[in-house]
Amino acid sequence: MPEQNPIGPVDSSRVPRFAGFATFARLPRIDQVERADVAVVGVPFDAGVSYRPGARFGPSALREASRLLRPYHPELDVSPFAETQVVDAGDIALNPFNIGEAIETLQSEAEALTADGTRLVTVGGDHTIALPLLRAAAKKHGPVALLHFDAHLDTWDTYFGEPYTHGTPFRRASEEGILDTEALSHVGTRGPLYGKRDLEEDRRLGFGIVTSGDVMRRGVAETVDALRQRIGGRPLYISVDIDVLDPAHAPGTGTPEAGGMTSRELLEILRGLRDCNLVGADVVELAPAYDHAEITAIAASHVAYDLVSLLSLGKSA
């Protein structure tokens, strides 16, 4: 049976961008296609936050902001929706009152969505969701390299005695052996910590750190080169907490920190990762209640678009 051409977005010259269904980039739903190479899926869950709630509304805000995205990516020279079948897989509903059950449900749903080779760009939701997504990726690919874009380390042990929160996913992932400890990097971290021990424990878990100040001083090209050397050809998962951006570029998030990266720096670093063996990604912590003029949602939608474009360049996991 001949392979069908991908079904792309709604034609904005025929249907205005402000009309119609609010799928990501106006793409088809997963039930409208026979197969999906890349699926954008929402996880409206924020029961793991430690400060401002509201990231449960992130997926819908990102989809709304994505209406303006266009089908050709000039910087990467790719038409991602023509190269691969990209779909919107809707939202995965999780129990907001039971974090343990929510984590188990998300891992199971992610494994089901990727069983046939579909790769995910997941939109949160808070950063708790990274752990089950990494579990699902490692089950398919073995321990994965990780690039973690974030203002914070997210390798703390517990909050109020609880081991599963938005500040603990990468500690749990390292302890579980689902990360390749030779290829782990935080990017964009900054701000005060609880103590120097935070850095020492983070280093013990295998992480390298590129702070937002490092990006400013070294520039994008040198940063990308260092990250690519650390990653090599390993299966790569990218996790983007939108608070990696300075509050001037992303006010709509739960735990903002001054001194962050610009949206241009983040996008250029992501684009520098073309040809890496990307197997999955997430964009989390978009909290639209604090997002005046949709600044954060617009930035997050472009991050998701770049991640989809990188996956389309890879074509196969």
Question: Which helix (H) or strand (E) element contains residue 238?
Answer: strand 236-241
Residue 88 annotated as binding?
no
Given CA atoms 310, 70, 148, 118 in this order, what sign does their dihedral have?
negative
For residues 232 and 3, give the distance between their C-alpha atoms in angstroms, rounded to a whole number: 32
Q: Is there a binding annotation on residue 127?
A: yes
How far apart (Å, rounded) are the C-alpha atoms in residues 132 and 110?
8
Q: Which residue has the tokens 């599963």?
A: 164
Residue located via tokens 């752990």: 131
Q: First CA to last CA across the chain, in angstroms?
A: 22
**Residue 302, annotated as binding a ligand:** no
Distance CA 99, CA 85 (A): 32
Residue 30 dihedral angles phi and psi, to the nearest 5°? -65, -25
CA distance 149 to 217: 17
Given a contact cutoff of 8 angstroms between Cβ atoms, the answer to whether 265 and 219 are in contact is no
Strand partners, 243: none
φ/ψ of residue 181, rounded to 5: -70, -5
119's CB contacts (< 8 A; 6+ apart) are: 37, 38, 39, 278, 279, 280, 311, 317
Check the annotation: does 154 bind a ligand: yes
148 is in an annotated binding site: no
**152 labelled ligand-binding:** yes
Would you state the structure tokens that stand for residue 44, as one six-digit string?
């409206």
Q: Which residues contact 84 (CB under 8 A, 6 or more apart)?
A: 6, 37, 38, 311, 312, 315
3-class state of residue 58 by DSSP: helix
Which residues carry a binding-site annotation for Mn(2+)? 127, 150, 152, 154, 241, 243
Annotated binding residues, as ranges? 127, 150, 152, 154, 241, 243
